[in-house]
Structure 1
């Protein structure tokens, strides 16, 4: 609660969450909703913040983590989400596109729910620029795009979405801007990574990949120290500088860290510093995939 309040007070007034974060009621809706209940408790504890925070909620995930645009299921997810939150949902977006689905038909189902008044605006997550062009050309308005943007997630597909964002003036919510804790050295060795965590299954955190990827962090640490910044501040400032509508969404349970991360958006990097970081990333590209192989089929479709 203290970290959430500190972030909001520092200016982080758009929060990204999901129906499937944490545990939840058994049955047809599948797991999740713990994070939504937490946010709901926050609003009950601090009612003055109702209306000051915009909520972006990912959904479209059913039992067994199946990707679905099923209208009945998503109506149920939205109904329970609003019950947990106690406030309206500003943006709802499918967390992934179902592989093989026609993206226009897929997003049209979600737009039907928007027209029913179940949320205010429609977003998209883990989508590529050609898909965004196809969906918006069909008259479906995409108000937010959520993708992973960080110093180790900056491949051609990501850059193309940032260019699309700039051209269309649509915000990107850049998740995992600190490399899921890797860039801030949350863990010293691969053995430190909790095996049950997402990182415990991510190729970039495994064995030799871990140590090879640390080379990037070593150089970033040195650059940040010379600038008088933490490496986290440098990484967040860089994400902000990638495009005029790119908004990093770091997470933290520590109030001081949440405040520091939010304030990092005010740090300006020079053209020379951006060029230096480009060269660092060229020399030390990430080793290993962003997600386990079992998840890769639904990324940047």
Structure 2
């Protein structure tokens, strides 16, 4: 499994970052690791603009250009949605299609270390979905099975069919619901790593996004309930409170949030997105931050008192804790 100092590429942006800029961001993250450690690189079949495979093609091109880095990265890819759609489809046919497409786009440049269905399909039992993944794993399509956006009970059911290596859920001071805590606790019990995506609240917790106009047209976040004008105004209180703590600690608010997610357990891996080398190194440095008991309690008090408004995703996404 990868070292906990990890990063992920930015996704669903209306305009892609320059390739060389993205490549330097990946290299910076890997080069910052201790000898022998691996970076958790997070991708998706649908992470390109307009749900394209551009993200995978970028990853493949990186490893074509820098083949020596392939063994120093742990590649996790999400799929299992209907092609060019956000609707889950865990039928055996679609999962196989998704896995095969991912490998096709990687072009043999990097072994697919872990595959996971992005969301739980209510029409297919988790037992059947994991059994399908286990079959593909045994065929040599990838090495580890993951789960994403699932409840603690669903994780437990899936793990009974085949050991789950990683469960990916959203974790940040902006998103720390009871469901989240239950998954983290269950994963620890089962020996499953937790990949916490969006530890910076999709950038909101950095304090640089204060109104919808601060987000580019076409950016996926413009469609999220928490990034509407009234909810942003209300929710900015938690940003102010965390920023005050970060200043006392002499770290950035972003680093404070990443370090807090990491402090939730040795099995918890924060995966902040980055397409800039400077930002990647800043994120990696957050993994060295330690909190005193008083500091940790102060952050937790801010989170407990925060009355976060707005759902994580639009209503048409359905139940993301299935």
- Which residue of structure 1 aligns with residue 12 of structure 2? none
Listed one character per residue, the Cα deviations across residues 40-89 of structure 1 (whole Å, up to 9, x for unaligned) are 11111111102111100101012333311233333333233223222220
User: Is 1:21 matched up with 2:47?
Assistant: yes
Matched, 1:103 2:126: yes
Task: Determine if contact 1:152/1:285 at 8 Å carries over to the other structure.
Answer: no
1:148-190 Cα distance to aligned partner (Å, 9 max, x none): 0100111100001111122222110100000001011232322
* Residue number in structure 2 paired with 1:172: 194
Q: Which residue of 1 aligns with 2:144?
A: 121
Cα distance per residue 1:233-253 (max 9 Å; x no partner): 100000000122000000112
Q: Quote how far apart the aligned CAs of 1:99 are.
A: 2.1
Cα distance in structure 1, aligned partners of 2:74 and 2:43: 11
Extract unaligned runs of 5+ from structure 1: 25-30
Aligned positions, number: 293
Whether 1:52 and 2:55 are equivalent positions in the alignment is no
Q: TM-score, normalised by structure 2?
A: 0.87
Which residue number in structure 2 is paired with residue 28 of structure 1? Answer: none
Q: CA RMSD in A?
A: 1.6
Q: Deviations over 1:123-165 (max 9, x none)?
A: 000011111112223x321111000010011110000111112
Matched, 1:42 2:42: no
For structure 2, which runs of at least 5 residues remain unmatched after alignment? Answer: 1-22
Tell me the distance in 1 between the aligned counterparts of 2:30 and 2:93: 34
Indicate if the aligned counterparts of 1:99 and 1:298 stay in contact, CA closer than 8 A: no
Q: Is the 8 A contact 1:98 1:298 kept in 2?
A: no
Q: Distance in 1 between matches of 2:151 and 2:102?
A: 27
Taking structure 1 as the reference length, what is the TM-score of the superposition? 0.93
**What secondary structure is seen at the aligned counterpart in 1 of 2:245?**
helix
